[in-house]
Amino acid sequence: MIDIKNITKTYGHGGDAYTALHGVSFSIAEGEFVAIMGPSGSGKSTLMHILGCLDTPSEGTYRLDGKDVSTMTDDELAYVRKDKIGFVFQAFNLLPRTTVLRNVVLPLVYANVPSEERDARAKEALRSAGLDASHFSHLSNQLSGGQIQRVAIARALVNEPVLILADEPTGNLDSKTSLVVLGTLQKLNREHGRTIILITHEPDIAEHANRIIRLRDGRIVSDEKNPAPRDATRETKLYDERDTAASLTNKLP
């Protein structure tokens, strides 16, 4: 599905030029769940912007579903983003003072989905992202961090993209909420066959992916299969059991 060869990205010109990616190559097949790891400044977001057709490489080739992205016009790129790719950015990308449902309906408006279909599809996406229906009419600034992330995931899903790109989707969340978000991504991958690229700098988050690519200073330093990915849904249950046990212990005389 994704095939990049010798991707280089240089920002700026002349003496101010900075090369954030130095000849990065890999292929990702449909249905993979890949984590891209690396310290701050290693080029993760730069790479995600290129993979998401939000930016173009300075050199190298990017083929998405066999098509060379560098030869596409701006209209074609916009169409690819709308049709194939779901982005999960950080929480603040939701529109404030706008309901949860409206936030998820918006990508469908841009994609020219008929108005009578939009609400049903948005609600379905919210349910598969694990948000309870009682929150659908809340304003996005009346939600917890974990609920906001679920809305962000629903918004990324609603146009049924084949590729989901998530940049630090658990960045500001506590451990339990992070697991819930990871569980949602794993479910989308396993049960719905979505290809997922998850960017993180935390090793224990990356261990939920089936493959881990490590970047350092704009270069790939390793690209390995993860033979035993952690199961976020199972870990969430263990958390709940521990919380229940703790609350029972507190009630002991």
Ligand X SMILES: Nc1ncnc2c1ncn2[C@@H]1O[C@H](COP(=O)(O)OP(=O)(O)OP(=O)(O)O)[C@@H](O)[C@H]1O
> Which of Mg ion, ligand X, none interacts with 201 (beta carbon under 5 to 8 A by kind)?
ligand X
Nearer to ligand X, 90 or 142 (CB): 90
Distances (CA, A) of 187 to 33, 105, 181, 206: 11, 22, 10, 16
Task: With beta carbons less than 8 A apart as the criterion, state whether 1 and 65 touch.
Answer: yes
Strands 2-11 and 59-64: antiparallel
Instruction: Give the interface with ligand X as residue ranges (CB under 6 A).
Output: 11-12, 18, 20, 38, 40-46, 201
Nearer to Mg ion, 4 or 166 (CB): 166
Task: With beta carbons less than 8 A apart as the criterion, state whether 161 and 86 touch.
Answer: yes
Q: In the complex, which residue's CB is closest to Mg ion?
A: 45
User: What residues between 28 and 87 interact with Mg ion by CB under 5 A?
Assistant: 44-45
CB of 44 to Mg ion, least distance (A): 5
> Which of ligand X, Mg ion, none interacts with 58 (beta carbon under 5 to 8 A by kind)?
none
Helix (H, G, I), strand (E, B) or coil at 219: strand
CB of 205 to ligand X, least distance (A): 13
Tell me the HSE value of 22 on the side-chain side, using a 13 A CA sphere: 10
Q: How many residues bind to Mg ion according to rule CB under 5 A? A: 2
Nearer to ligand X, 87 or 136 (CB): 87
CB of 46 to ligand X, least distance (A): 3
When asked if residue 93 is in the footprint of Mg ion (CB under 5 A), the reply is no
- Strand order across the 59-64 sheet: 18-28, 2-11, 59-64, 67-68
Q: What is the DSSP letter of 225?
A: E
Nearer to ligand X, 42 or 103 (CB): 42
Distances (CA, A) of 29 to 124, 150, 167: 27, 26, 19
Nearer to ligand X, 12 or 15 (CB): 12
Binding residues vs Mg ion (CB under 5 A): 44-45
